[in-house]
């Protein structure tokens, strides 16, 4: 599998995980059409639980023996800024006041092909 296919599978696993945990998925793969330039971003999953809107960044990798990084390590400062800008744009587009409780979570998915399992780490409110 290439990295795009691993990413798509990771998002499916993440969506299923969130639904099992009681999250309501509002939107997937939100990509603002009006934003251009280097800060253009995408939100993998937008969900809601209780009164909090959660913007979820999914990072999936194929588990490799002896790897030295975690999927969430790929969410660097620049990626975090893009997610925040895109989340704020989604709130404005949907006429949701910015004072509404919202947060950005990271779901790290490590896929083990041999065992046909995925290990999930849910980092809540990971981007500030």
pLDDT tens by residue, 61-109: 887 766 667 888 889 998 899 999 999 989 999 999 878 999 999 999 9
Domain residue ranges of the chain, discontinuous segments joined by +: 3-127
Q: What is the pLDDT of residue 70?
A: 83
Q: Which two tokens stand for residue 44?
A: 């993998």
Residues 10-14 have a mean pLDDT of 96
How far is the C-alpha of 5 from the C-alpha of 128, rounded, in Å?
29
Task: Indicate the fold that domain 3-127 takes in CATH.
Answer: Trna Endonuclease; Chain: A, domain 1 (3.40.1350)
**81's tokens:** 């800024």
Contacts with 77 (C-beta within 8 Å, 6 or more apart), sequence order: none
pLDDT of amino acid 62: 87
**Model pTM above 0.85:** yes
Query: 118: which residues sit within 8 A by CB, 6+ positions away?
Result: 10, 13, 109, 110, 111, 112
Provide the β-strand partners of residue 30. Answer: 43
């Amino acid at each position: 599998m290439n990295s795009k296919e691993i990413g798509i599978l990771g998002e499916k696993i993440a969506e299923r995980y969130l639904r099992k945990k009681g999250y309501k998925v509002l939107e997937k793969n939100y990509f603002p059409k009006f934003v251009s330039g280097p800060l253009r971003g995408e939100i993998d999953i937008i969900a809601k639980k209780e009164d909090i809107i959660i913007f979820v960044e999914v990072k999936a990798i194929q588990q490799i023996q002896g790897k030295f990084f975690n999927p969430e390590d790929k969410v660097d400062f620049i990626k975090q800024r893009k997610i925040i800008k895109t989340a704020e744009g989604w709130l404005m587009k949907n006429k949701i006041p910015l004072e509404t409780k919202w947060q950005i979570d990271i779901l790290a998915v490590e896929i083990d092909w041999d065992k046909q399992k995925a290990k999930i780490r849910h980092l809540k409110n990971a981007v500030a």
